[in-house]
Amino acid sequence: MILASWRTIARLVKNSDIVVEVVDIRDPHSTMSKKLEKIVYALDKTLLIVLNKCDLVPRSVAEGWKSYLEGLGYKVMYISATSRLGTRMLRGWIKSMAPYKPFIVVVVGYPKTGKSSIINALRGRRGAPTSPIPGSPGYTRGVQILKVENDFYMIDTPGIIPVDGPLPEAIIRGRAPEEIKDPVPAAVALIERALKYNPKAIADAYGIEEKDPYKILELLALKRGWRYKTTGEPLIEESARTIIRDYHTAKLYFYVPPP
């Protein structure tokens, strides 16, 4: 799959008036990019942080993240692109920040945070393709400029990730689950994070009452009948890919509370 290069991002930021960084509100710290911020500030552009997918967390959590990040000096809004919560306000907010007309807003962020969905919501119609899983049909391949209304344009970009980012983000968002060579370490990190923030995450998603990540992968493989043909051992790579996929679709459910 295709990620946007930092060089492309820098060029797009330079040619835009406002930068919207889309962040997954389930886990803002893991899906915000320091490197992106540096580029935006160096080019002296306005940065707006949009915490997306707020339908997946309680309102108090969304409010908590907003005030925490505002306390750090960011301009922040939370919305749900797919449930159309706050999208009209977002459009007004962006317009109020525009220095002149016409203006261009570039939308950037990690893969699968909902960049294309936000643009579609603001336009009130589809146009930017979307998809739940990295690398599946509908993920954003190239840079696309879309008209939101007169004098208001948005640029959709493919996701970016830090090249040497920590587990599991760089792995699970960086390529399609089928293409991850060794998905187990990333899945283990994801399971640990899920259980830390929602002790019932695995039980609710798979009916497995177990806390050890490797055992969880084994039990899931046995439950679904995934075994190595040669040895009959549980095929934990398949479980790992499933868990990664289920995080993207929020079947594996957890969120990180604000500090």
Ligand X SMILES: Nc1nc2c(ncn2[C@@H]2O[C@H](COP(=O)(O)OP(=O)(O)OP(=O)(O)O)[C@@H](O)[C@H]2O)c(=O)[nH]1
Would you tell me which residues interact with Mg ion (CB under 5 A)? 115-116, 140
The nearest distance, CB 15 to Mg ion, in angstroms, is 19
The nearest distance, CB 227 to ligand X, in angstroms, is 31
Nearer to ligand X (CB atom), residue 16 or residue 80 = 80
Nearer to Mg ion (CB atom), residue 36 or residue 205 = 36
The nearest distance, CB 19 to Mg ion, in angstroms, is 16
Residue 188 is encoded by which pair of tokens? 């283990």
The nearest distance, CB 105 to Mg ion, in angstroms, is 15
Nearer to Mg ion (CB atom), residue 108 or residue 256 = 108
Told to check if 132 binds ligand X by CB under 6 A, we report yes
Binders in 147-166 for ligand X, by CB under 6 A: 158-159
Considering only the stretches 88-96, 105-113, 199-207, 209-217, report the one whose residues sit in contact with ligand X under the rule CB under 6 A: 105-113
Burial class (CB in 10 A: 0-12, 13-18, 19+), 162: middle
**Cα separation of 185 and 177, whole Å?**
13
Told to check if 8 binds ligand X by CB under 6 A, we report no
Q: Which of 112, 193, 241, 245 touches ligand X by CB under 6 A?
A: 112
Out of Mg ion, ligand X, none, what residue 31 binds, judged by CB under 5 to 8 A for its kind, is: none
Residue 257 is encoded by which pair of tokens? 């509370």
Q: Which of 16, 52, 239, 242 touches ligand X by CB under 6 A?
A: 52
The nearest distance, CB 140 to Mg ion, in angstroms, is 3
Told to check if 254 binds ligand X by CB under 6 A, we report no
Binders in 70-89 for ligand X, by CB under 6 A: 80-82
Out of Mg ion, ligand X, none, what residue 30 binds, judged by CB under 5 to 8 A for its kind, is: none
- For the chain, the DSSP string reads -----HHHHHHHHHT-SEEEEEEETTSHHHH--HHHHHHHHHTT-EEEEEEE-GGGS-HHHHHHHHHHHHHTT-EEEE-BTTTTBSHHHHHHHHHHH-SSSSEEEEEEESTTSSHHHHHHHHHTS--S---SSTTSTTS--S-EEEEEETTEEEEE------TTPPTTHHHHTTS-GGG-SS-HHHHHHHHHHHHHH-TTHHHHHH------HHHHHHHHHHHHT-B-TTT--B-HHHHHHHHHHHHHTTSS---PPP-
Task: Catalog residues that contact ligand X under the rule CB under 6 A.
Answer: 52-53, 55-56, 80-82, 111-117, 130-132, 139-140, 158-159, 250
